Amino acid sequence: VAGSSAGRLEGKLREKTLTLDTLNPQVKAVEYAVRGPIVIKAGEIERYLEEGGTKPFSEVIKANIGDAHAMGQKPITFLRQVVALCTFPELMDSPSFPEDAKRRARRILQGCGGHSLGSYSASPGVECIRKDIAAYIEQRDEGVPSDWENVYLTTGASDGIMTILRLLVSGKDSSRTGVMIPIPQYPLYSAAISEMDAVQVNYYLDEDNCWALDINELHRSYQAAKQHCQPRVICIINPGNPTGQVQSKKCIEEVLHFAYEENLFVMSDEVYQDNVYAPDCQFHSFKKVLYEMGPEYFNSVELVSFHSTSKGYTGECGFRGGYMEVINMDPEVKAQMVKLLSVRLCPPLAGQAAMDVIVNPPQPEEHTFKQFHQEKSSVLGALAEKAKLTEKILNAVPGIKCNPVQGAMYAFPRIFIPPKAVEEAKALGMQPDMLYCLRLLEETGICVVPGSGFGQKDGTYHFRMTILPSIEKLKVLLGKVRDFHIGFLKEYSGLE
Amino acid sequence: VAGSSAGRLEGKLREKTLTLDTLNPQVKAVEYAVRGPIVIKAGEIERYLEEGGTKPFSEVIKANIGDAHAMGQKPITFLRQVVALCTFPELMDSPSFPEDAKRRARRILQGCGGHSLGSYSASPGVECIRKDIAAYIEQRDEGVPSDWENVYLTTGASDGIMTILRLLVSGKDSSRTGVMIPIPQYPLYSAAISEMDAVQVNYYLDEDNCWALDINELHRSYQAAKQHCQPRVICIINPGNPTGQVQSKKCIEEVLHFAYEENLFVMSDEVYQDNVYAPDCQFHSFKKVLYEMGPEYFNSVELVSFHSTSKGYTGECGFRGGYMEVINMDPEVKAQMVKLLSVRLCPPLAGQAAMDVIVNPPQPEEHTFKQFHQEKSSVLGALAEKAKLTEKILNAVPGIKCNPVQGAMYAFPRIFIPPKAVEEAKALGMQPDMLYCLRLLEETGICVVPGSGFGQKDGTYHFRMTILPSIEKLKVLLGKVRDFHIGFLKEYSGLE
Ligand SMILES: Cc1ncc(COP(=O)(O)O)c(C=O)c1O
Ligand SMILES: Cc1ncc(COP(=O)(O)O)c(C=O)c1O
């Protein structure tokens, strides 16, 4: 046996097996700004305040992550009733729970092994929930058929996205798999690409055109990538995170035609499908548009769409519920995917139950409809108001330009950063918008994420903030951003 | 743009982007027997019976997976009360919920953003739950210190195991990472190794010695592996799945000494720590044993231990709760791990809450203690009885030899398969024990997993069955296995 313990006893320290040097380099390459350094700093300040420290503000406002309940949004009563009934079926006897909720809970439990939320489900999810999801999709898409066997429950949309990429990307592939993603993007995508050692292929959204996706830019990006990798998949986020745009039907058609022509697998991240605020915008599912392009397209383009319990009007992030619908996937590949899902056993059952309520909400003839509908409209109405408010206040600040927040939960304003501040940041080895966001945090307690964490055109700077704080808090927040920004410009333009 | 749609319209079908040929080969390489072909077949038979088909039996008994509730085990009332209270806090006003449960639910919700189970938690988990876990570990290990910042909640133990392996294994590493695993093993390990393209390094458990781990075999395995890869990590499952052994303290010391000498990272899968039945056995945590080996060991060996809500006396598989405690991990690596965890946001909150109850159960002075204790003892008592019963009945069958089920939830009997049956299986391109298990399923409706799915010494054959069915069902099941086995021997020994 190698190594002498005598030597070590004389003082030589045992070396660590796992160090930054020996760590899987693909893990090292991962970046994830939404919970990055700025958020760690925010946590430190929070603790400092708690321990009685003083700052020019009394609390940290976390506008860095789309976490509705953490910002005070109340859960939808009906959803929680159903999940509580599933968790503790003794409540079926309680008169304070509505029959509508009991009916759904019973149906879900019937689909669970031993009628318990504590059983593993089949790896693709509980069968009756998959059926409810398929029915929902058919209704949403006005009759476009959905086969429940194409529906797979997931542990949040994140898990579904990772699973599909895992099928497509082989780290050892000599021709290297290219994954086309929008820039700016939700950084799960770039992180997954790093972790799997795929090639990130950027296509830039058009900031001057409300962050629309431009088909010419797709062609440019694809052709450029072909020089050094094999682009095999295109990811779209609609409505957009962090950019808040809602894609037009025409634009979706162009993307699908492009994917058809170039034989690309299409990943359509539609977790914000219920979050559309602009009156002139409407959510079009990629699947429905594909259907309307005719059978040659509908029967051939490989498409997967992701949804989640975390967004919409429920904001149930902690449940880690979600699903994906996969169409035109090779049956043999599907079998391989199910095998892969089996290794992790199954998605959490409470999350599956929550997903079921979202796709199978109270109907007009049910007693619970009114309250459910009120709660839903109240959340979505407030979000629409906050979307408008954010755009308006930000655009009134000199040196900030914010596209309309048509959907999703974020504003991604462009900020002018004076050359002196850019220089200072560079001297600190920092992105200029990181410097900006750190200063904003330290001076106002507002936590937002630098645009560099999502990707942006060189020489442009942004930050992402959520529109989730309550209207009152949001107004205060936006006022502070304005004052900070004006002060920042003054300071670095030498006008002070 | 390449490709002419005219050509396609003339009849050429668009090729699929993702086929078995283009699929990530590492996914293809994954095997997962617990939900493999035998289970698919079982599902088919179940559907056939439901649709009115006839078989020599009326139901399929699934003894293939450690899924207690699916086999009729009842949830622990207190655990479900706490999770229901967290899910629907309006229940805090209900007199039918005990104060003890409300106190715990309040504490958990206090640790959640917006006091809601619907918020994302910090990626390592809810802080107060991490603290409860650390306190539990200290108590379990009779005072060995546990730092809550070393505790990370996970999405079932599966997720923790995958995360740690992901740090250790780089697919592109030219020297290739060797991962030492027991044979037989729980196939999550071999599946993860395939998926990550590590090298599986087998060490064989000693069937003749109650599946004990033999230190000489560890040395042999390590030295052999060194010829073609760099072994960096050793995985241990204690109590064992599928083998049911409980490791002695001396054996654990030897493993830890070996890991120390060879600079191996230690992954200790202790999800069955509450499942010890044999009166002469006791669970010793790897951490406590390491501590007792003295500071030179305790301050240097990198060790991670996994736990889960899925096993023990709760059997809450569907909640996907679990944790890992990591000691001596390089702080920089820890930061990288947290970053990686952040990408998937957080483990499900209901699972975290369930984990909290397991580590912080009712205390003797609490009102709920009696019922809790009764329910717990009843589950563990029945499991102990079934462990004994299974061993006894199986060992009475000629051609079956079963080690004592000291712990966990499985028997892994060795079965004699006559040469003629071995030949027949080989002609069918099938493992002999797969043939055996398929026949058992088709003739009796009993679903067990072939030993080949877990690994076994060449020329030996086994199957794994859970001891989870109720005592009555288990007796029927074991009787059928006996009759089947005798018939099988007769048939293939030409004695018919
Ligand atoms: C575009 C997009 N996709 C996926 C996710 C993942 O969400 P979850 O895993 O909680 O469903 C998010 C979360 O913010 C998102 O914004
Ligand atoms: C030894 C062992 N480890 C880990 C697991 C994973 O369990 P879970 O992910 O449900 O916690 C299992 C499940 O059977 C197991 O037997």
Dist. CA A459 → ligand 1 center (Å): 27
A30 interfacial to chain B (CB closer than 8 Å): yes
Which-ligand-closest: CA of B159?
2
Q: Is residue A422 part of a domain?
A: yes
Dist. CA A215 → ligand 1 center (Å): 25
* Atom 16 in ligand 1: residue holding the nearest Cα: A241
Check whether residue B243 and residue B149 sit in a common domain.
yes
Closest-CA distance of chain A to residue B133, Å? 20
3-class SS shares of chain B: helix, strand, coil, % to 5: 50, 15, 40
| A-chain residue closest to B190, CA distance | A343
Which pLDDT score is estimated for A210? 94
Q: Where residue A408 sits, what CATH number does that domain have? A: 3.90.1150.10
Question: Which residues on chain A are in Cβ contact (under 8 Å) with B68?
Answer: 118
Question: Which residues on chain B are in Cβ contact (under 8 Å) with A329?
Answer: 18
Closest-CA distance of chain A to residue B418, Å? 31
Question: In sequence order, what DSSP letters do the residues of A434-481 get, joined into one string?
Answer: HHHHHHHHHHH-EE-EEGGGT---TT--BEEEES-S-HHHHHHHHHHH
Interface test with B, best of A67, A82, A301 (most B CBs within 10 A): A67
> Among candidates A445, A473, A482, A269, which has minimal Cα distance to A382?
A473
For the record, the structure tokens of B55 come out as 């078989």
Which pLDDT score is estimated for A175? 63
Interface test with B, best of A17, A336, A379 (most B CBs within 10 A): A17
> Among candidates B464, B456, B458, B459, which has minimal Cα distance to B481?
B464
Q: B 56-85 residues with CB below 8 A of A?
A: 65, 67-73, 75, 80-81, 83-84
Which-ligand-closest: CA of B454?
2
**Rounded Cα gap, residues A149 and A127, in angstroms:** 9
Q: Is residue A21 part of a domain?
A: no
- Report if pTM > 0.80: yes
Phi/psi of residue A352, each to 5°? -65, -45
Which pLDDT score is estimated for B36? 74
The residue type of A149 is: E
Which whole-number Å values give the CA distances from A221 to A164, A177, A193, B180, in the listed order? 22, 14, 17, 44
> Among candidates A458, A457, A459, A461, which has minimal Cα distance to A449?
A461
Phi/psi of residue B431, each to 5°? -70, 140
Q: Which of A303, A325, A359 is the last residue of a domain?
A: A359
CB of B402 closer than 8 Å to CB of B448: no
The residue type of B212 is: A
Which pLDDT score is estimated for B17? 85
> Which stretches within B150-294 are classed as H helix?
156-168, 188-196, 215-226, 249-262, 286-292
A395 interfacial to chain B (CB closer than 8 Å): no
**Rounded Cα gap, residues B178 and B232, in angstroms:** 6
CB of B467 closer than 8 Å to CB of B474: yes
Q: Is residue A189 part of a domain?
A: yes
B24 interfacial to chain A (CB closer than 8 Å): yes
> A365 falls in which pLDDT band (50, 70, 90)?
very high
Q: Is residue A15 part of a domain?
A: no
A46 interfacial to chain B (CB closer than 8 Å): no
Check whether residue B279 and residue B167 sit in a common domain.
yes
CB of B30 closer than 8 Å to CB of B193: no
What is the 8-class DSSP label of residue A306? Answer: E
Check whether residue B352 and residue B432 sit in a common domain.
no
**Rounded Cα gap, residues A25 and B170, in angstroms:** 7
A168 interfacial to chain B (CB closer than 8 Å): yes
Check whether residue B298 and residue B386 sit in a common domain.
no
Of A62, A246, A310, the residue with max ligand 1 atoms within 8 A of its CB, to mutate for a pocket test, comes to A310
Q: For A46-63, how does the pLDDT look when each residue is reduced to its tens digit (9 = 90+)?
A: 999 999 999 999 999 999
Check whether residue B349 and residue B326 sit in a common domain.
yes
Q: A 262-291 residues with CB below 8 A of B?
A: 262-265
Check whether residue A62 and residue A167 sit in a common domain.
no
Give the atom of ligand 2 at the shortest distance from the alpha carbon of A344.
9
| Torsion, Cα of B303, B307, B312, B314 (10° steps) | 170
B34 interfacial to chain A (CB closer than 8 Å): yes
Q: Is residue A347 part of a domain?
A: yes
Give the sign of the dihedral formed by CA A267, CA A268, CA A269, CA A271.
Answer: negative
pLDDT at A22 over 90: no
Name the 3-class secondary structure at B307.
Answer: strand
Cα end-to-end distance, chain A, whole Å: 70
Ligand 1 pocket, residue A186 CB under 6 Å: yes
- Write the burial class of residue B95 (CB in 10 Å: 0-12 exposed, 13-18 middle, 19+ buried): exposed
Q: Is residue B157 part of a domain?
A: yes
Closest-CA distance of chain A to residue B399, Å? 32
Q: Is residue A238 part of a domain?
A: yes
Query: How many of the other CB atoms lie within 10 Å of CB of B55?
Result: 14
**Rounded Cα gap, residues B317 and B311, in angstroms:** 7
A8 Cβ partners below 8 Å, 6+ apart? Answer: A14, B296
Question: Which residues on chain B are in Cβ contact (under 8 Å) with A316?
Answer: 118
Helices (H) then strands (E): counts for chain A:
18, 14
Check whether residue B301 and residue B437 sit in a common domain.
no
| A-chain residue closest to B4, CA distance | A261
Give the sign of the dihedral formed by CA A84, CA A86, CA A89, CA A92.
Answer: positive
Check whether residue A307 and residue A346 sit in a common domain.
yes
Q: Which of A332, A359, A386 is the last residue of a domain?
A: A359
- Write the burial class of residue B491 (CB in 10 Å: 0-12 exposed, 13-18 middle, 19+ buried): middle
Q: Is residue B82 part of a domain?
A: no
Give the atom of ligand 2 at the shortest distance from the alpha carbon of B161.
4
Protein residues whose CB sits closer than 6 Å to any atom of ligand 2: A 345; B 66, 156-158, 186, 188, 237, 241, 269, 271, 308, 310, 317, 322
pLDDT at A399 over 70: yes
Dist. CA B270 → ligand 2 center (Å): 9
> Among candidates B176, B347, B233, B61, which has minimal Cα distance to A317?
B347
Interface test with A, best of B26, B71, B108, B116 (most A CBs within 10 A): B116
What is the 8-class DSSP label of residue A41? Answer: H
CB of A464 closer than 8 Å to CB of A211: no
Give the atom of ligand 2 at the shortest distance from the alpha carbon of B241.
1
| B-chain residue closest to A171, CA distance | B171
Q: Which of B306, B325, B359 is the last residue of a domain?
A: B359
Peptide bond into A404 cis (omega under 30): no
Give the atom of ligand 2 at the shortest distance from the alpha carbon of B186.
1
Please give the residue range of the domain that contains residue A411: 26-72+371-493
Q: Where residue A282 sits, what CATH number does that domain have? A: 3.40.640.10
Query: How many of the other CB atoms lie within 10 Å of CB of A143?
Result: 10
**Rounded Cα gap, residues B31 and A187, in angstroms:** 31
Which whole-number Å values give the CA distances from A266 to A193, A233, A253, B17, B355, in the listed order? 16, 6, 12, 10, 38
B194 interfacial to chain A (CB closer than 8 Å): no
Beta strands in A16-94 (DSSP E): 61-62
Which pLDDT score is estimated for B34? 67
For the record, the structure tokens of B129 come out as 């739950």
Name the 3-class secondary structure at A15.
Answer: coil
Interface test with B, best of A1, A108, A197, A344 (most B CBs within 10 A): A344
Check whether residue B306 and residue B239 sit in a common domain.
yes
Check whether residue B249 and residue B379 sit in a common domain.
no
Order of strands, edge to edge, in the sheet holding B449-450? Answer: B410-411, B463-466, B449-450
Can you say how many angstroms the Cα of residue A429 is from the centroid of all Cα atoms in its chain? Answer: 29
Domain count, chain B: 2
CB of A16 closer than 8 Å to CB of B302: yes
* Atom 14 in ligand 1: residue holding the nearest Cα: A66
Check whether residue B230 and residue B326 sit in a common domain.
yes
- Write the burial class of residue A110 (CB in 10 Å: 0-12 exposed, 13-18 middle, 19+ buried): exposed
ipTM of the complex: 0.93
Query: Running along chain B, 496 residues long, what does each successive block of 10 average in pLDDT?
Result: 42 75 84 78 91 92 92 96 98 96 97 96 96 98 97 97 92 79 96 92 96 96 95 97 96 96 96 96 97 95 97 97 97 92 94 98 96 97 97 95 97 96 94 95 95 94 96 94 95 73
Check whether residue B204 and residue B271 sit in a common domain.
yes
Question: In sequence order, what DSSP letters do the residues of A187-228 get, joined into one string?
Answer: THHHHHHHHHT-EEEEEE-BGGGTTB--HHHHHHHHHHHHTT
CB of A128 closer than 8 Å to CB of A111: yes
Mean pLDDT of chain A: 93
